[in-house]
Structure 1
Amino acid sequence: MNKEFYFDNLNKEFVMLNPLTPTPWLNYLGVHDYCAIISNNAGGYSFYKSPKSFRILRYRYNNIPMDRPGRYIYIKEKNDFWSTSWLPTKRDLNKYKYISVHGLGYTKIYCEHNGIKSEVLYFVPLEENLELWVLTIENKSKKERKIDIFSYAEFCLFDAMGDLTDLQYILNIATTDITKNEILDYKCLFADGEVKQVFAFTTKKIKGFDGEREIFIGDYNDESSPSAVVKGRCFNSVLRGGNPIAAFHLNVGLKPNSVEKIVFCIGVGDALKEGVKYKKKYSCFENVEKEFKKLKNYWQTILDKFQVQTPDDNFNTIFNIWLQYQCHTTFKWSRSASYYETGTHRDGLGYRDSNQDLLSVVHAEPQRVRNRILALGSAIYKEGCACHTFQPITNTGTGGTDYSDDHLWFVLSVTSYIKETGDFSILDEKIPFFDGGESTVFERLKVVLNYGLKQRGQHGLSLSLRADWNDCLNLEYGGESVWTTQLLYKA
């Protein structure tokens, strides 16, 4: 077993004992519309449906220091303070015990410092558009401890491209308020999309809060030593333009060997409606446990659909757990957001990629695959070519006649779905063309194949056009592709 990280097959977790990984190692939390990307040091960001249009939490790409900001919880006792994840405070690892665990749909980060042990469980409930940070804090010493706890998250609200390229506008339209229920309410003036508000709360009575980044962090400062944490109090700041955050200050008293559980939540919706509803729900810790159990059962059901046993234990581990988890993650989020793909350029579905992604999960989630196939079919033009990227939310796309292979993957998707499910009725479904009109899926397949047969060069092989599966090929006009010819033959 590696001394710094290993696979825990019993719990289906990847365990990291050293926070200094070669690069931040990420997990994707969320099954339906809400996605939370989180690193082994609690860095990352969140979005609802679209990382471009409905970004919730902010992230600074290619940044020094790396992997900022994130979902941070600070613990302060007298003049000493640290974070429950190694970042951002970066305490001496000889005195700070750290373990980070990426599980199926959740991440846990453990730390122990000066007799205080903490665990933070991060997950997105199956049917809800929110994320939970579940803090369990334990006094391992023989004396009573009085500590202050601060939470911190930084918002984008909601236009990720504008946040990067038109910051002055973003700084003028963000607002934060606090309700009588101690729920922070975030609005973006002139928001014209599906998401117009988000909320944040904690289930414990708060001592204070902050909604403005510069107030909480302090001038010429950063997340490693926020002014509010150093001074031991928040400043109850609301925002009328600026950089919105969610920061809460709590007082906790811990008797020897006692344990306290606190939930922090960020979600999509109105603080006075959804915020009140979910604060009431998750103030009962049994509901947190029920939702986490539902999440674990969901992933177990997915994995149980297909298992193999070979003489190679390492192969079994990768194939039966982590390869399947990776395939479902790419199917759900279509590689549209990471620390390197910012989610602002390729928003939505890569056409080729998404057709490929569904091939690996059709056995486990046939209905979701069926819905995805119908969406991808509507990104095909009447002449038979397909968009290179497609956003079903807005029915917009890019590309068309310039890639030689995109449209052909649709044939493989439909036929693979039918072979797996026996559902021939999908062929009778009527779906729109991208440029107007409609046809059945069966007619769509014929249009695609006829277009592919027409796009051939002087040797009878498929024209490569701008590119085939090798996006960077970029041959001159008239170039032919053996690869696309093979795909056409298979289709």
Structure 2
Amino acid sequence: MKFGHFDDQNKEYVITSPRTPLPWINYLGCENFFSLVSNTCGGYSFYKDAKLLRLTRYRYNNVPYDSNGHYYYIKDGDTIWNPGWMPSKTELDSYECRHGMGYSVFTGIKNGLMAQLTDFVPMGSTCEINKLTLKNTSDKKKVFSVFSYVEFCLWNAMDDMTNFQRNFSTGEVEIHAGGSQLFHKTEYRERRNHYAVYAVNASVDGFDTDRDSFLGAYGENSAPSVVVNDQSKNSVASGWAPVGSHHLKVALEPGEEKTYIFVLGYVENPVNEKWVGRAEDGIINRAPADALLARFDTTEKADAALAELKAYWDKLLGHFTIASSEEKLDRMVNVWHQYQCMVTFNMSRSASYFESGIGRGMGFRDSCQDLLGFVHLIPDRARERILDIAATQFEDGSAYHQYQPLTKKGNADIGSGFNDDPLWLIAAAAAYIKETGDYSILDESTPYDSDPSKATDFMEHLRRSFNYTINHLGPHGLPQIGRADWNDCLNLNCFSEEPGESFQTFGPSEGPNAESVFIAGMFVKYGKDYVKICRHKGLCDEADTAQKAIKQMEKTVMDAGWDGEWYLRAYDHYKHKIGSKECEDGKIFIEPQGFCVIAEIGKDEGL
């Protein structure tokens, strides 16, 4: 079954059925504010960190799929429907979703009424814009209601899902402009200087901020009580689950259309400017929110912001283009691959529909790898990212496997000991220097474990990365795998007899026997880049020493890692071969093949 097609002229993917095999999502945001949106308007928003500053809730492993999003319900007579089909799942007369560069457009038609929702995160702002256009395509006047809906997360997404004793007591809101502006200020009084605002640029006929009031007792997103009854309750959340919902009553003559601009924003105040008047009165300083909303309070302003976003992407993707006789190659290289690379730069693996954003943060290895795909697009930001990554490294050259994007500190809950991580830092640095010629990065003072008192120049970080592999060799002279290499599922060192213990944090990662042929290939490939960096720095003796270590590793791989026809996968804790034709699991694993070939190990021997 065909679910959509590419629109090359507009750089969009057009989805023509809401019933895709899984939610097909777009990643909105280029700087600090991000939203994930599916082809049925599911998703969530956050500021900088999907765990620590989550604005809205999303439910993972849910039934039905893709539960919770930024929804707009249309109550037209007895019919309730959504422009993106979910969550009411009312059959539409027409449906289309266009995922573009940093924006998505949903168009639904039902009973002579068209609703088009344009969703994007504008440049230079900490908000998401939803532009909702309603048009009467029938020959009769239409009178109907529109209800917006978001469910607020209580900021820390992990705590939000687990600490119910506290969470059901802390929800707080403020309502302003007659309900057009809904402020989520949970914990603002106690320990936060930020809040969220959800607003529409029109007078409203009602509002709700309490989830139970909106949904009704035992209610659900598909048929909220307020929508079914066509009447908001003007509820004010105090504890329990705060939400944001506006009620608009709309009348359209045949052919008439109206547009509304909804803004979901994140606002921070300096600590000494949190309040209007006395702190004990509890009135938040809304001045920065007013300024934010004023930037997008008309259709013309929202359209201008969308045009600016599109121009940004056109310029960014224009840095590198190809022209060939194969349109599919041009399409993927010129648009979609580069777009994907920028998304991974913005979020690493910290947030997706398969990663909750709660347990990961930014990957040390992941973020270094991602640089290879976008360093030519944004070299200045790539430089900054490399130094951020290096600052989480340990003094011995090893690294936290992940770090939180908000704090830029290593994530101890995930741990360390993934022994390919240090070499990825050399890969990233080499890619940056090759692209820019900027060797000054090597002189940047860079901390270890986010502790400025332990800082050295960045060159020393690379040196310790290189030497970490040399200092961690196994019985065959191959690099110790630690907890795992790139194929994290291959865990050869860390064992547990207790359910729930993670190999990422349990057991000795420094096990002396398990060895990785993949890391050996990495060491040879990126070691050659390290040698060139040393020579450019005038460190000729160090370069010669490193070159000897690389040659020795090549020989070791051929002696201990070559199986006669392919490269072994690894040696396990018991010194047994993995991925050998001599054993039952004899298979060709792509990781060691790829890197050993790229590193040209065995080339001189004709292999």
Indicate whether 1:465 and 2:482 are aligned: yes
Q: 2:62 corresponds to which letter in structure 1?
A: N
Whichever residue aligns with residue 406 of structure 2, its letter is: I
Equivalences for 1:37-48 in 2 at 5 Å?
37-48=36-47
Partner of 2:184: 186
* Residue 389 (1) aligns with residue 387 (2): no
Deviations 1:1-27 (A, max 9, x none): x75310110111111111000011111
State the alpha-carbon separation in 1 of the partners of residues 164 and 327 from structure 2.
51
Partner SS state of residue 291, structure 2: helix
SS of the residue corresponding to residue 408 of structure 1 reads helix
Q: Is 1:188–1:196's contact at 8 Å kept on the other side of the alignment?
A: no
CA pair 249-392 structure 1, distance change in 2 beyond 3 A: closer
Most deviating of 106-115 and 392-401:
392-401
Match of 2:367 in 1: 354
Output aligned runs, 1:21-36, within 5 Å: 21-36=20-35
1:279 corresponds to? 293
Residue 341 of structure 1 is matched in structure 2 by 355
Structure 1 residue runs without a partner (length 5+): none
Secondary structure of the 2:523 match is: helix
Aligned equivalent of 2:259, options 261, 265, 268: 261
Which residue number in structure 1 is paired with residue 116 of structure 2? 119
Alignment correspondent of 1:480: 515
The answer to whether residue 54 in structure 2 is matched with residue 55 in structure 1 is: yes
Deviation at 1:192, TM superposition (A): 7.2
Q: What whole-Å deviation, never above 9, does each CA across 1:376-397 have from its counterpart, x for those lacking one?
A: 1111111111111112532233
The alignment covers a number of residue pairs equal to 487
* 2:321 maps to 1:307: yes
Moved more, 292-301 or 164-173: 164-173
**Aligned 8 A contact 1:200 1:275 in 2:** no
* Mapped partners of 2:478, 2:31: distance in 1: 41
Deviation (angstroms), 1:309? 2.4
Query: What corresponds to 1:377 in structure 2?
Result: 390
Match of 1:292 among 306, 319, 336: 306
Q: Which has the larger radius of gyration?
A: 2
State the distance in 2 between where 1:112 and 1:418 align: 52
| 1:393-412 → structure 2 map (5 Å cutoff) | 393-394=406-407, 395-398=409-412, 402-412=417-427
| 1:199 alignment partner in structure 2 | 197
Q: What residue in structure 2 maps to residue 222 of structure 1?
A: 220
Separation in structure 1 between the aligned mates of residue 285 and residue 255 of structure 2, nearest angstrom: 36
CA distance in 1, matches of 2:376, 2:259: 39
**Deviation of residue 400 (structure 1)?**
6.3
What amino acid is the match of 1:464? I
Identity of aligned residues (%): 38
> Per-residue CA shift, 1:145-170, capped at 9, x if unaligned?
22211111111120110121122321
Give TM-score, length-normalised by structure 2: 0.78
Is residue 400–residue 417 contact of structure 2 (8 Å, CA) maintained in 1?
no
> 2:518 is aligned with what amino acid?
W
Instruction: State the partner residue of 1:16.
Output: 15
Output the CA distance in 1 between the equivalents of 2:84 and 2:233: 24
RMSD of aligned Cα (Å): 1.7
State the partner residue of 2:91: 92
Tell me whether 75-84 or 223-232 shows the greater mean CA deviation: 75-84
Equivalent of 2:441, from 420, 426, 436?
A: 426
1:135-146 alignment runs, 5 A limit: 135-146=132-143
Q: Does the Cα contact within 8 Å between 2:74 and 2:81 map onto a contact in 1?
A: yes
Opposite residue 490 of structure 2, the aligned amino acid is L
Instruction: Give the structure 2 partner of residue 449 of structure 1.
Output: 466
**Matching of residue 416 in structure 1 with residue 414 in structure 2:** no
Mapped to 1, the partners of 2:142 and 2:367 lie a distance apart of 52
- Equivalent residue letter for 2:404: Q
Q: Distance in 1 between matches of 2:489 and 2:182?
A: 47
Does structure 2 conserve the Cα–Cα contact (< 8 Å) formed by 1:386 and 1:401?
A: yes
Following superposition, the deviation at residue 193 of structure 1 comes to 6.9
**CA distance in 2: counterparts of 1:489 and 1:109, whole angstroms:** 49
Structure 1 runs of 4+ aligned residues shifted over 6 Å read 190-194
Gapped regions of structure 2 (runs ≥ 5): 268-283, 494-510, 527-607
Matches of 1:205 and 1:470, distance apart in 2:
55
How far apart are the structure 1 equivalents of 2:295 and 2:322?
40
Partner amino acid, structure 1, of 2:6 = F
8 Å contact 2:48–2:405 — kept in the other structure?
Answer: no
State the 1:324 CA deviation: 1.0
Scaled by the length of structure 1, what TM-score is found? 0.96
Q: Match of 1:321?
A: 335
Q: String of CA shifts for 1:417-438, please: whole Å, max 9, x gaps.
A: 0110111111111011116511
Q: Name the amino acid aligned to 1:367.
A: D
The alpha carbon displacement at 1:190 in A equals: 6.4
Q: Select between 430-439 and 330-339 the one with higher mean Cα deviation.
A: 430-439
Judge which range, 241-250 or 305-314, deviates more: 305-314
Asked if structure 2 preserves the Cα contact closer than 8 Å seen for 1:198 and 1:271, the reply is: no
Partners of 2:237 and 2:485 in 1: CA distance: 50
What is the CA-CA distance between 1:191 and the residue it aligns to? 7.5
Q: Which is further off, 197-206 or 279-288?
A: 279-288
Contact 2:401 2:416 in 1 (8 A): no
Amino acid of the residue matched to residue 465 of structure 2? V
For residues 279-317 of structure 1, give each alpha carbon's deviation from its aligned partner in whole angstroms, at most 9, with x where no partner exists: 322222221111101110111111111112233222222
